[in-house]
């Protein structure tokens, strides 16, 4: 999506209308897929003072962290917990970090992989999803999840830790929990803030303005309301006004045919428009 980094903010009331853990898990999977498809690099879960449920904020965070992690790392990162009882219903993300290569013969020198670093017999090794671990060449390292580059295949599989900033392709998203939405926005500035609202200005009349804004900022935060309340109502509880929070407030589905739009649907619609505008030449 060009050079603009895309972030989204969703409320902890996102799961409020789900009837059970399985349905909540499925919804989290849909949200993750929408964000991965459109290269979202951060998902913020903010607290909705009226409808937000703290347990759901934690649950949604756990589920999104889980689905973002490559499958072979999950056993290292996530102990058995009740929140993951239905994790198997979530669809695979298939982002570049979710490599399916399982044989050393398929690996090339220079490949970048996610891994889990651990110490054994005085040496450091990294589980990179292969039948055998890679011997880590770095001396001063932190244990746990790391990004590594394969340095050699023979006579021994070796790797070195790299900074994630060195990875040029899309590598997935991070998940962060937050308090009040207005406080979150203030903490992230300067950033382009796009609010989504049924009462917003029609996108059909404002797409050129939005395109210019997108190309004027390095980071963009897109705000989404809850299943029961819009952003204006959520911010009213915080004593703030949406006009003072967002650079632009837009209705991305003029004349919508359904009474409500689910957040996973809204994510696909809004991010699809933003993706299109970022790749459309400025006229």
Domains of the chain, by residue range, sit at 5-94+173-279, 104-166
CA–CA gap between residue 115 and residue 161 (Å, rounded): 9
How much is the average pLDDT of 219-233? Answer: 96
Q: How confident is the model at residue 68 (pLDDT cuts 50, 70, 90)?
A: very high
Does pLDDT of 5 surpass 80?
yes
CA atoms within 13 A on the CB side of 92: 10
Predicted TM-score (pTM) of the model is 0.94
Does pLDDT of 4 surpass 60?
yes
CA–CA gap between residue 211 and residue 273 (Å, rounded): 10
46: phi then psi, degrees, rounded to nearest 5: -95, 160
How much is the average pLDDT of 265-282? Answer: 96
Q: How confident is the model at residue 2 (pLDDT cuts 50, 70, 90)?
A: low
Percent of the chain scored above 90 by pLDDT?
88
How much is the average pLDDT of 189-198? Answer: 95
Per CATH, which fold does 5-94+173-279 belong to? Alpha/beta knot (3.40.1280)
How much is the average pLDDT of 119-140? Answer: 92
| Strand pairing report for 248-251 and 192-202 | parallel
Return the biggest CA–CA distance within the chain.
65
Tell which residue, 187, 179, 174, 177, has the closest CA to residue 245: 187
Residue 62's pLDDT is what?
98
Tell which residue, 30, 132, 40, 26, has the closest CA to residue 95: 40
CA triplet 189, 193, 197: central angle to 5 degrees? 150
- For domain 104-166, the CATH architecture is Beta Barrel (2.40)
What is residue 143's DSSP assignment? S
Q: How confident is the model at residue 216 (pLDDT cuts 50, 70, 90)?
A: very high
Q: Which SS3 state, helix, strand or coil, does residue 126 take?
A: strand
């Amino acid at each position: 999506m060009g050079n603009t980094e895309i972030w989204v903010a969703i409320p902890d009331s996102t799961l409020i209308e789900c009837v059970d853990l399985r349905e909540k898990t499925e919804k989290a999977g849909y949200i993750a897929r929408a964000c991965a498809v459109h290269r979202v690099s951060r998902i913020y879960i903010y607290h909705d003072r009226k409808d937000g449920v703290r347990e759901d904020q934690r649950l949604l965070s756990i589920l999104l962290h889980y689905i973002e992690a490559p499958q072979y790392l999950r056993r290292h990162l996530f102990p058995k917990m009740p929140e993951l009882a239905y994790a198997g219903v979530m669809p695979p993300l298939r982002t570049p970090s979710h490599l399916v290569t399982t044989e050393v013969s398929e690996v090339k020198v220079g490949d970048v992989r996610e891994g889990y670093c651990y110490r054994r017999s005085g040496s450091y090794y990294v589980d990179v999803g292969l039948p055998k671990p890679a011997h880590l060449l770095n001396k001063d390292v932190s244990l746990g999840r790391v990004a590594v580059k394969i340095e050699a295949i023979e006579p021994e599989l070796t790797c070195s830790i790299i900074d994630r900033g060195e990875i040029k392709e899309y590598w997935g998203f991070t998940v962060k929990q937050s308090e009040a939405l207005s406080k979150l926005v203030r903490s992230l500035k300067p950033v382009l803030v796009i609010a989504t609202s049924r009462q917003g200005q029609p996108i059909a009349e404002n797409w050129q303005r939005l395109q210019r804004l997108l190309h004027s900022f390095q980071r963009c935060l897109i705000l989404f309301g809850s299943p029961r309340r819009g952003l204006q109502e959520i911010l009213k509880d915080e004593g703030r006004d949406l006009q003072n929070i967002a650079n632009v407030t837009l209705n991305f589905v003029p004349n919508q045919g359904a009474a409500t739009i689910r957040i996973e649907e809204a994510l696909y619609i809004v991010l699809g428009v933003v993706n299109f505008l970022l790749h459309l030449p400025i006229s």
